[in-house]
Structure 1
Amino acid sequence: MWLLRENARTDGSPTEENEVEQSERRDFRTASPGSDRAAGRWIDPGGRALVIVGVMLVLVLTAVLPWIGGASGWQVIAGQADPVLEVGLLPRLFSINATVAGVLLGALTLATRRWPVAWITAMACSVVTVEGVIAIWSRQTVPPGQPGGPSFGLVLAVVAMAVLAVQWLRIVWSRP
């Protein structure tokens, strides 16, 4: 308030500097509520981003490991696994959804850093983790003597999806 009195002219009319300061204050007051709301739309993954990128890399590398019998992950995704293995729908569905949710949505979320996209990624990774557990279970119920049980590549992919789901959920829940 003393600044306003100091800058006022002796005749009582405001100076040009005083008018500029008052207009800047009005602009700040009108911009503040919107900026608080806009700040809530962004996420800052911090050190978790490195963990997420590392797990995404592990998820991509599981594509070369055996998933079902001798069929690797990329063969399951492409549908080129040996017909004798009878891969079925669940492992194929998990492999496609893990690629979309774990790798593509994760990369999109890290690039945009938007909270709604992070929320979608967290929910998608959680659902795909459950799909992966069901895919492992479906391969464990193969009749005895028939090839095609779950291999360590499929198990590692499910563990990677679970870690991604936990990391994204922690980021989404940490929103102020």
Structure 2
Amino acid sequence: MCDPVTDDLSDLQVEVPKAPRRAFRQIDPGARALVVAVCVMVMLVAALLPWVDGASGWQILFGLAPAGTVIGLVPIIYAVCSTLFGVVVSAAALVTRLWALAFAGAAGCGFSTLTSLLAIWSQQSTSSHEPGPGPGLGLILGALTLIVLTFQWVKLTFTRD
């Protein structure tokens, strides 16, 4: 006959040794979770706004820019990196609370910040002596949001107990 108390104790004996390792692999974002979640939403809004010559971020990401719009390689790299790290990895790290994903978010958002600055610069300069078309509002909003995300993930990954 099965004794429920004995079964519970045997399950507990298996789980207790795993607890420190599980706690070591996880983060507790606390109030930063709200900041990161808002930043993920702002990144999605930034993808809807114009980036390059009226083409929005999602159009650049999926290669659906209007005909005649010249989009360089740097804004495309930025669109991929910002979506991957600023939205996907950040959301996955919040949901799973895994330290490895938070660290990937910190490193990826840092790299995406650099690509965002290069994308903004590429829109301001041309090969001639005339200024470029200038960065769109979505490009600037995404860059600022990635800076905030980078600081949030860095603080979360390096202030772990």
Q: Could you tell me the TM-score, scaled by structure 1's length?
A: 0.76
User: Does structure 1 residue 125 correspond to structure 2 residue 121?
Assistant: no
Change (3 A) 1:147 1:137: closer
The CA distance in 1 between the partners of 2:53 and 2:129, in whole Å, is 13
Partner of 1:93: 77
**Counterpart code for 2:136:** S
Identity %, equivalent residues:
37
Partner of 1:79: 63
What are structure 1's unaligned runs of at least 5 residues? 1-26
1:22-171 alignment runs, 5 A limit: 35-142=19-126, 143=128, 148-171=133-156
Deviation per CA, 1:99-136: give whole Å up to 9, x if none: 11111111111111111111111111111111111111
Deviation per CA, 1:16-68: give whole Å up to 9, x if none: xxxxxxxxxxx6xxx56x53343221100011111111011010011221111
1:10-21 alignment runs, 5 A limit: none
The CA distance in 2 between the partners of 1:172 and 1:147, in whole Å, is 38
The CA distance in 2 between the partners of 1:167 and 1:56, in whole Å, is 12
Equivalences, count = 151
Change (3 A) 1:138 1:147: closer
**Counterpart code for 2:20:** D
Greater C-alpha Rg = 1
SS of equivalent residue, structure 1 residue 44: coil
What are structure 2's unaligned runs of at least 5 residues? 1-12
The CA distance in 2 between the partners of 1:72 and 1:101, in whole Å, is 18
Q: Could you tell me the TM-score, scaled by structure 2's length?
A: 0.83
**73-82 or 137-146, larger mean C-alpha shift:** 137-146
The CA distance in 2 between the partners of 1:74 and 1:117, in whole Å, is 24
Deviation per CA, 1:142-172: give whole Å up to 9, x if none: 2455763211210111111111111111110
Superposed CA RMSD in Å reads 2.5
User: Does structure 1 residue 172 correspond to structure 2 residue 157?
Assistant: yes
How far apart are 1:140 and its partner, in Å? 1.0
Q: Verify the 8 A CA contact 1:85 1:148 in the aligned structure 2.
A: no
